[in-house]
């Protein structure tokens, strides 16, 4: 059974829930407050694109991936993860604690 990750951002009057198994994420505003447009404290989740390489040649590719594009350097990946941990990004924290 998947454990949901939830956080309450009291100063910003909303909470988040995240399901790390399915990627479901939602912001829930406190009653009487508007839906939060963005997080003032920093990113809640990040998507990391580790490669632009792909040999499928889909005409509808949303990433413009090709076999000529490259993979992300592992050192860059580490840098992104370290920065995400410092910013308290929820999904990264979960991965590192798992």
Site residues (vs ligand SF4, CB under 6 A):
54, 56-58, 61, 63, 65
Q: Report whether 22 contacts 2 (CB < 8 A).
A: yes
Q: How far apart are CA 35 and CA 12, in angstroms?
A: 10
Considering the complex, state which of residue 37 and residue 62 has its C-beta at the smaller distance from ligand SF4: 62
CA 72, 91, 35: angle at the middle one, nearest 5? 115
Q: CB of residue 54 vs ligand SF4: minimum separation in angstroms?
A: 3
Q: Which is nearer to ligand SF4, 48 or 85 (CB)?
A: 48
**Residue spans of alpha helices (H) in the chain:** 74-86, 90-97
Return the CA Rg of the chain: 17
Closest distance of CB 77 from ligand SF4, Å: 18
- Cβ 51 to ligand SF4, closest distance in Å? 9
Smaller CB separation from ligand SF4, 5 or 54: 54
């Amino acid at each position: 059974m998947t454990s949901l990750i939830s956080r309450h951002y009291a100063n910003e009057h909303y909470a988040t829930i995240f399901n790390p198994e399915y990627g479901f994420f939602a912001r829930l505003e406190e009653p009487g407050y508007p839906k939060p447009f963005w997080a003032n404290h920093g990113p809640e989740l990040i998507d990391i694109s580790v490669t632009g390489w792909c040999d499928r040649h889909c005409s509808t590719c949303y990433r413009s991936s090709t076999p000529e594009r490259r993979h992300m350097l592992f050192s860059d990946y580490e840098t992104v993860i370290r920065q995400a941990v410092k910013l308290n990004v929820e999904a990264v924290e979960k991965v590192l604690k798992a």
